[in-house]
Amino acid sequence: MINFQCDYAEGCHPILLEALTKTNMEQTTSYGCDIYSKNACAMLRTACGSEDADVHFLVGGTQTNATVIASVLRHHQGVVSADSGHIAMHETGAIEATGHKILCIPSEDGTISAEQIEALCHEHFTSPIQEHMVQPGLVYISFPTESGTLYSKAQLTAIKKVCKAYDLPLYIDGARMGYGLVSTACDLTLQDIANLCDVFYIGGTKCGALFGEAVVIINEALKKDFRYAIKQHGGLLAKGRLLGVQFEALFENGLYFDICRQAIEHALAIRKAFEDKGMQLWGTSYTNQQFVILTDAQMKRLTDLGYEYEVWVPSDVGQTVVRFCTSWATTAENTQRLIDDIKAL
């Protein structure tokens, strides 16, 4: 089988594995207080252009989202999100399990707009019965979104402005941050992200690490006691240096961006193959997730050829939206083979 189903089918990038192997028998302080974690934090602060930022490493995305969101909100507050947001759809109610409602905004392509957030907040804060409703307390967006789309600098700036007006922190889920930043469709840098939000995370799991997400807290008011929150959510890894070692390796010499860039090249080549074949793409992703509408026959054929892909949503009768996902681990050989097989469909 050739896996284009997701971006977490392999282990980690060989350079990270090497670093883990090299440091394996060293004795370090636990729970993220080791020298590797400290060094990785410093590297990330520099990469973000935010020397005052707090950086923390957690294990996985759902854990990270629940930890950040619960840490920011008071009990009567909820988090604003696209209805297709990962927290709203695919985290088994991890946010609600911390007591907080997700205030959903309808989204076609995974993004929400400044206007939508403004409308939701305006409606809430001008309601005479506002205390009967969950108060917006945080805005959550993902970059890239679950559909592979991106916010432009202008869009993100507009969202930040609305958030500021309503005194709402802005949180960016960057599970695939690397794939977003190096996309040909992206006009934002990591520093821009840091400048335009209050807290965000840089995903490791899907971008070359065995596991691990780096939370970057920019807003001073959100920094206090975050390690308590991590521990309460089971995210304070005993051998925290595993996270430090990996993020050090990822941000040494720009490896993180290089390997993501390569994934994007594979993805766009596959995208072009679909287009050349006249197949209908779904959405407008220029990141590592490519969505295409396949007929039942095409699905069968590709499956028979040994490809694994993700069934996304039903389309018209006899047609299905499926996702092909590249990653840091996608080989040129597999991509070329897929392109050839698309041509021959």
Q: Report 50-109 residues binding a second copy (CB under 8 A).
A: 59-64, 66, 70-71, 74-76, 78, 89-94, 96-102
Considering the complex, what minimum distance in angstroms separates the CB of residue 184 from a second copy?
26
**Roughly what angle, to the nearest 10 degrees, separates helices 114-126 and 153-165?**
10
Of 12-20, 163-171, 268-276, 286-294, the window that binds a second copy (rule: CB under 8 A) is 12-20
Q: Is 15 in the site for a second copy (CB under 8 A)?
A: no
Cα dist from 233 to 97, 98, 201, whole Å:
11, 10, 16
Which residues have a Cβ under 8 Å from the Cβ of 111 and sit 6 or more positions away?
82, 141, 145, 149, 151, 155
What burial letters (b/e) apply to 96-126, b meaning 16+ CB within 10 Å? eebebbbbbbebebbbbebebbbebbeebee
Considering the complex, what minimum distance in angstroms separates the CB of residue 278 from a second copy?
29
Which residues inside 244-303 make contact with a second copy, applying CB under 8 A? Answer: none
Considering the complex, what minimum distance in angstroms separates the CB of residue 65 from a second copy?
8
Considering the complex, what minimum distance in angstroms separates the CB of residue 187 from a second copy?
29
Phi-psi region of 234 (alpha: psi -120 to 50; beta: other; left: phi over 0): left
Considering the complex, what minimum distance in angstroms separates the CB of residue 234 from a second copy?
3
Count of positions on this chain that bind a second copy (CB under 8 A): 74
The binding track of 108-147 with respect to a second copy, each residue x by CB under 8 A or -, is ---------------------xxxxxxx------------
Kindly state the tokens that stand for 3: 């896996």
In whole angstroms, what is the distance from residue 155 CA to residue 133 CA?
Answer: 28
Residue among 114, 113, 102 nearest 138 (CA): 102
Q: Which is nearer to a second copy, 133 or 185 (CB)?
A: 133
Within 10 A of 129 (CB to CB), how many other CB atoms are there?
6
Which residues inside 199-228 make contact with a second copy, applying CB under 8 A? Answer: 205-206, 210-211, 225, 227-228
Please pick, from the candidates 24, 278, 316, 333, the single residue that binds a second copy as defined by CB under 8 A: 24
First to last CA, the chain: 18
Considering the complex, what minimum distance in angstroms separates the CB of residue 264 from a second copy?
20
Query: What is the number of helices (H) and of strands (E) in the chain?
Result: 13, 12
Considering the complex, what minimum distance in angstroms separates the CB of residue 70 from a second copy?
5
Q: Which is nearer to a second copy, 3 or 145 (CB)?
A: 3
Which residues inside 148-187 make contact with a second copy, applying CB under 8 A? Answer: none
